[in-house]
């Protein structure tokens, strides 16, 4: 192993440039989203865009600090960081005040931090650390259970904070597990379960059960040659039936009213453009009215006059859609896609399993955020309040994503010095 000559040696500048471009675009769009005549200065600290500038500045400092720290530190301290973060999550549960129904903020004076944004990073590290250890094989049941626990523990804590959106992000780690050898059946079954969930809500249960039974019977007629096949068909049919029955219960008993309403709106079962569907409706109006090339910077009426709630945070994508049109939204989406491709590319060039797993974790988390955030803005996903990475206003999330990405940059820059 050699010592690194400069902290910028072997840095993947592509990632850094992507990061800077996204953060800058985010800042401009936050400015447009919050813009008002009285505070025209983008550096005005009383406004979200002024504060975002502070967050960007501090994020760059954090990024630099991460690059300065020795590359070995992260792998070595993965578990301690994970444990400390879990501790903080527990503390938050106890001391946090209720903010819009969630208890997820730590307040120190006027300074507020959302530890769940860092829990993703810590979990990613711990998962990478655990899975990269010698002798760990994904096929082992023990591995699956331990990895599952590493993911589910923070997920449960965040869920207890009533921050459902952030909790759901942990589902993204399924891609990491899949990459490390988890059977593809998990993805297929997950997809199937999702489809069944939607169908169960859309189609009357009796009809759905009938269809499942019918399909099972057809499969039985086609594949009854071996006993094994018959058993598999039976199990799948039974599972599907079970899911269908449990969906109603889960939907009505476990989900909270607003969550239920949002799903109903999404599925078109409920038309409530003033209530549960207001955000999405206004968001679609904003994006849709942008047209091909948009209304122009600061010209979005939906944006300027606050028709879309939460527009600088969860619905920042509307601003892009309204003021920059399809050209703008496509540009941002492609930018994100290229970023994800780049991360996957970086992951696959690692000799270190830890770094590879970590990189996949980063890609999975970013992808999940992108999918849900943009999906809800255009009415393809339920309204789950999670930010668009690097774009949305918010210190915690920007810091969290910065840490997530810059640790990857640091680890990647270290790839030459690691044998395994």
Partner 1 sequence: MYNPGSSQRIVFLGIITSVVIIFLIRLFYVQVINESYSVSATNNVLRYITDYPARGMIYDRKGKIVAFNQAVYDLMVIPKQVKEIDTLEFCKLLDISKESFIDKMKKATSFSRMKASTFEKQISAESFATFQEKLYKFQGFYVQPRTLRKYPNNTAAHVLGYIGEVNDELIAKNPYYRIGDYIGISGIEQSYELELRGRRGVRIVMVDVFNREKGSYKGGIYDTIAIAGQNLVATLDADLQSYGEQLLQNKIGSVVAIEPQTGEILAMISSPSYDPNLLVGRVRSKNYGYLLRDPNKPLFNRAMQAYYPPGSTFKLTNALAALQEGIININTSFPHSFVVGSKSVKCHSHPPVALEGAIQYSCNPYFCNTFRSFVDNRKYGSSENGYRLWREYQMSFGVGKKIGVDMPHELKGLIPSVEFYDKYYGKGHWKASTIYSLGIGQGELGINPMQMANIICIIANKGYYYTPHVIKQIGKKPNTTRNLGERHYTKVSAENFTIIQDGMQRVVEAGTARIARFDSLVICGKTGTAQNPHGKDHSLFVAFAPRNNPKIAIAVMVENAGFGATWAAPIASLMMEKYLKDSVKRHDLEERMLKGYLLPLQNKSLENPALKVNDSTQVKPKNKKDSSVALLTNKKKKK
Q: Provide the binding-site residues for partner 1, judged by CB under 8 A.
A: 137, 175, 178-181, 184, 187, 274, 282, 284-292, 301-302, 304-307, 321-322, 325-326, 329-330, 333-334, 336-337, 340-341, 344, 348, 351, 353, 360, 363, 367, 371, 374-375, 378-380, 420
H or E stretch including 14?
A: helix 13-34
Q: CB of residue 260 vs partner 1: minimum separation in angstroms?
A: 19
Which stretches of 78-224 are DSSP H helices?
78-95, 116-132, 141-160, 164-169, 173-179, 184-202, 205-223
> Is the CB of 314 or the CB of 322 nearer to partner 1?
322
Number of other CB atoms surrounding residue 34 within 10 Å: 22
DSSP state letters, 70-98: -THHHHHTHHHHHHHHHHHHHHHHHH---
> Is the CB of 56 or the CB of 266 nearer to partner 1?
266
Q: CB of residue 139 vs partner 1: minimum separation in angstroms?
A: 10
Q: CB of residue 419 vs partner 1: minimum separation in angstroms?
A: 10
Burial class (CB in 10 A: 0-12, 13-18, 19+), 103: middle
d(CA 28, CA 405): 21
d(CA 86, CA 63): 23
Q: CB of residue 179 vs partner 1: minimum separation in angstroms?
A: 5
> Is the CB of 52 or the CB of 350 nearer to partner 1?
350
Q: CB of residue 238 vs partner 1: minimum separation in angstroms?
A: 27
> Is the CB of 165 or the CB of 379 nearer to partner 1?
379
Q: Supply angle C-alpha 249, 250, 253, rounded to 5.
A: 75
> Is the CB of 59 or the CB of 312 nearer to partner 1?
312
Number of other CB atoms surrounding residue 6 within 10 Å: 9
Q: What secondary structure letter does DSSP report for 252?
A: I
> Is the CB of 56 or the CB of 287 nearer to partner 1?
287
> Is the CB of 86 or the CB of 285 nearer to partner 1?
285
Q: CB of residue 261 vs partner 1: minimum separation in angstroms?
A: 15
Q: CB of residue 45 vs partner 1: minimum separation in angstroms?
A: 23
> Is the CB of 213 or the CB of 273 nearer to partner 1?
273
d(CA 386, CA 399): 15
Query: What interhelical angle do 353-377 and 395-413 show, nearest 10?
Result: 150
d(CA 333, CA 388): 11
Q: CB of residue 333 vs partner 1: minimum separation in angstroms?
A: 5
């Amino acid at each position: 192993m050699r010592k690194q000559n400069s902290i910028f040696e072997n840095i993947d500048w592509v990632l850094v440039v992507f990061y800077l471009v996204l953060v800058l675009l985010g800042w401009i769009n936050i400015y447009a989203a919050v813009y008002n005549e009285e505070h025209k200065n983008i550096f005005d600290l009383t406004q979200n865009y002024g504060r975002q500038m502070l967050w960007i500045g501090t994020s760059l400092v954090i990024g630099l600090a991460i690059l300065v720290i020795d590359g070995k530190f992260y792998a070595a301290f993965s578990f301690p960081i994970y444990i400390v973060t879990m501790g903080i999550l527990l503390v938050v549960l106890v001391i946090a005040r209720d903010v819009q129904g969630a208890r997820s903020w730590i307040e120190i004076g006027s300074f507020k931090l959302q530890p769940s944004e860092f829990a993703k990073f810590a979990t990613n590290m711990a998962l990478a650390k655990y899975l990269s250890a010698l002798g760990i094989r994904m096929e082992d049941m023990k591995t699956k259970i331990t990895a599952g626990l590493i993911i589910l523990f923070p997920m449960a804590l965040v869920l207890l904070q009533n921050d459902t959106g952030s909790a759901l992000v942990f589902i993204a780690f399924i891609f990491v597990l899949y990459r490390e050898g988890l059977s593809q059946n998990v993805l297929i079954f997950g997809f199937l379960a999702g489809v069944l969930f939607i169908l169960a809500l859309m189609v009357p249960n009796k009809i759905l059960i009938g269809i499942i039974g019918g399909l099972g019977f057809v499969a039985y007629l086609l594949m009854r040659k071996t006993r094994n096949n018959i058993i598999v068909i039976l199990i799948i049919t039974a599972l599907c039936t079970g899911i269908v029955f449990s969906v109603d219960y889960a939907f009505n008993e476990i989900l909270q009213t607003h969550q239920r309403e949002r799903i109903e709106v999404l599925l078109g079962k409920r038309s409530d453009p003033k209530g549960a569907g207001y955000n999405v409706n206004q968001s679609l109006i904003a994006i849709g009215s942008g047209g091909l090339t948009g209304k122009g910077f600061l010209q979005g009426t939906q944006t300027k006059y606050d028709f879309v709630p939460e527009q600088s945070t969860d619905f920042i994508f509307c601003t892009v859609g309204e003021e920059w049109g399809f050209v703008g939204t496509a540009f941002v989406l492609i930018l994100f896609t290229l970023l994800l491709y780049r991360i996957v590319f970086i992951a696959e060039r690692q000799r270190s399993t830890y770094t590879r797993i970590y990189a996949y974790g980063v890609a999975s988390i970013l992808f999940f955020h992108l999918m849900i955030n943009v999906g809800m803005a255009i009415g393809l996903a339920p309204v789950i309040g999670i930010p668009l990475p690097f774009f949305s206003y918010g210190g915690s999330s920007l810091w969290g994503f910065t840490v997530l990405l810059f640790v990857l940059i640091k680890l990647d820059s270290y790839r030459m010095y690691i044998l395994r």
